[in-house]
Chain A
């Protein structure tokens, strides 16, 4: 194996991915985020200060946005490259070449890096354009502008890309569970540098090494520089979304790279390679025995061996297959009422959703339901119910994507009235799952006659499957819902954030009307999306 093989492996994988529509959408969103950063919708505020939009400030701001966005959503963007090789069967061809497992996983890591790195590159170009458009300081200085992206964003995305490969090779983390777990790992990595920013303590060597996104490193240096010139500065530092203009400006001249900073970023790159090598230990090299889970283990009957007579004895042949007339029960043209057919389809969809989970999945779901009935109502609403609406995430994330994921679209979409029968059935089945898993809370609220909270519960029960269906249909992948929902769940219900709390985990944060309205929009979006995929309605 040599550099040429590595180049072609990475190149083919890179081209395959960047030529997808989803890459362009993500890229456009990344540029939009950059635009938000420079136009003041995403701001770094140090108390009431912000930097003048010179090259150093724009570069740092763009780096913060890029690392935050790409280390979280980038994971979901690049995860799936090994799975694609498996699904397209290209992997089986690769498996027959002399390529080693570690070579493959490192090549995939580099390919992930190339995809995310190209996004960083586009954001770098956008940063130049944005600084020029902002015109607060029209003099573009390339090194201060681009160096934060090179020093922080590139190592961060390489680390993210490597984690995506590791997750893909470990059976339990390969699917939706991994997508949810990554969010919590990302959150843990984000807070790993500690609270040095809040205390205005500057950036120590150890912080550089723990700061995988570079946010603390960049903002810590900004704090130190501001402290030196602004005695009224009280150590505040925040990266916020929204039009929160800072009253005062200061001139920031950019990063002061230290050997520790450079070393820490090199360590990130080294860690990425190490993770890719560790992934090779778990990589099964497309062995078909690992492609479908061990759930299918069945007792096979021993093969029947028939000896072939060799002494001229006549071989008795069985009659040709299916030579007897075929008798099939005549099937009348569907005559059931619409409601009866819909009910059957809902049951079929529900069965499909709930089949195939391990026994402990049902046990935990049942445990959450029982805990909802047994715990004090306040604890249920602000605790157990929050867990109960996360637990079925992998059930909901299949909604709207199952037909493309399992390649059954042509079977289902060629059926009569699939748009008005199968699609609503999927949605209703999703609602039933939500109602069942979080049903304990509804019972408690009914008993307590807490009607506003009950309305919030209803809004939540309708909202989650609607979000799953709409995102599934429009994105064609379960990953989008898994990522968006996990973040939304964490920021909203888990933190009782008004406006984002779709569960109504607390009376203060509940917004039933808003979520019923959003649900209606999502249902329409799902319908329109599916309609667009059908040749005929």
Chain B
């Protein structure tokens, strides 16, 4: 008897707008990845003072930071699998930590220095989130890579 094909991950209950929400999720997730790459460039601009003393890096972070809670809402609306939802919540948490770390630079400089490593983590997780959901909702499930 041939083995049964693996079942796709169970989806959470979604709304009627689930297919639209899933597509929006994919778009927002990749926009976030692009913003993070730009953010790394802005760090360079600030460090090497390419445009004088500026805080482009910090200001830009607050500009696109709201994409992370939106991803959580879209994941719920699309009824994406629990694993994707958890990854998205983890991304939101890491991003919140990322914005908090520089504020403790005076009190706990060693801990604040983790800001740079956490940036790598945020980027890695953002790519995992973006790659975990297919563009076409009819295919269902997640793409395990």
Q: Is the pairing of A and B real?
A: no
List chain A positions with a Cβ less than 8 A from chain B.
Answer: none
List residues of B whose CB falls within 8 A of some A CB: none
